[in-house]
Amino acid sequence: MAKTTSVSKHEMFITDLDFCPRCGTVLPLPGTADVVTCRQCNFKIDVRDFDGIEIHTKAEFNNPDTFLKKTEDAESELKGPTVDRKCAKCGNEEMIYTTRQTRSADEGQTVFFTCPQCRFQEIEYS
C-alpha cells in the first residue's frame, strides 16, 4: 500500500492510507466525495491519494463443501455422555444426550436425546 508522504504539524505519524495519520483509526473506504474523512477526528485526505490502490476483500457464507463435510462428520459419529433411557423407536436401552439453554435463563435447560443405533431424537424440556 502507498504511504502518506507529508506530515503536517497536526499529523502524529506516517501510515498506510488504511489508517488516519492523526489518530490511527481505520479510515472508511473512498466513496463519491472528493475527500475521505476520518470518523473519529474528522481528518480529511484527498480521494486522489487513493488512486492506484487495490482493495481486495473476500466474504464466504454457507460454503456447500464445508457444510456437507460437517454434516457427514456429524452423521458418521455420535459422541457425548450416555444415559439409561429406552429409545421409543428401536428399543435400544442407551441414548446419548446434550443440553442447551433454549429458553430464558430463569427456565430449565432443554435436553436432546439421540439413539446411537437408529439416530432417533427426543427432546425433553426440564
The SS3 of residue 26 is strand
Residue 33 and residue 47: Cα distance in Å, rounded? 8
Condensed to tens digits (0 to 9), the pLDDT of residues 51-91 reads 887 777 777 777 777 666 655 555 557 788 999 999 999 99
Q: What is the pTM of this model?
A: 0.41
Task: Give me the number of domains the chain comprises.
Answer: 2
Note the pLDDT of residue 3. 44
Clarify whether residues 83 and 57 are in a common domain. Answer: no
More confident call, 2 vs 90 = 90
Clarify whether residues 81 and 60 are in a common domain. Answer: no
- Which residue, chain included where needed, has cell 480529511? 44
Averaged confidence pLDDT in the chain: 79
pLDDT at 26 over 60: yes
pLDDT at 93 over 90: yes
Residue 41 and residue 68: Cα distance in Å, rounded? 47
Note the pLDDT of residue 80. 87
Note the pLDDT of residue 54. 77
Clarify whether residues 16 and 36 are in a common domain. Answer: yes
Domain residues for the domain of 10 are 1-64
**Is 70 part of a structural domain of the chain?**
no
**Is 69 part of a structural domain of the chain?**
no
Clarify whether residues 47 and 100 are in a common domain. Answer: no
The SS3 of residue 53 is coil
Clarify whether residues 55 and 20 are in a common domain. Answer: yes
Residue 11 and residue 7: Cα distance in Å, rounded? 6
Clarify whether residues 33 and 55 are in a common domain. Answer: yes
Clarify whether residues 59 and 111 are in a common domain. Answer: no
pLDDT at 2 over 50: no
User: Which residue, 43, 46, 19, 24, is CA-closest to 33?
Assistant: 46
Condensed to tens digits (0 to 9), the pLDDT of residues 28-49 reads 888 888 898 999 999 998 888 8
Domain final residue, candidates 21, 39, 64: 64
Clarify whether residues 55 and 10 are in a common domain. Answer: yes
Clarify whether residues 57 and 82 are in a common domain. Answer: no
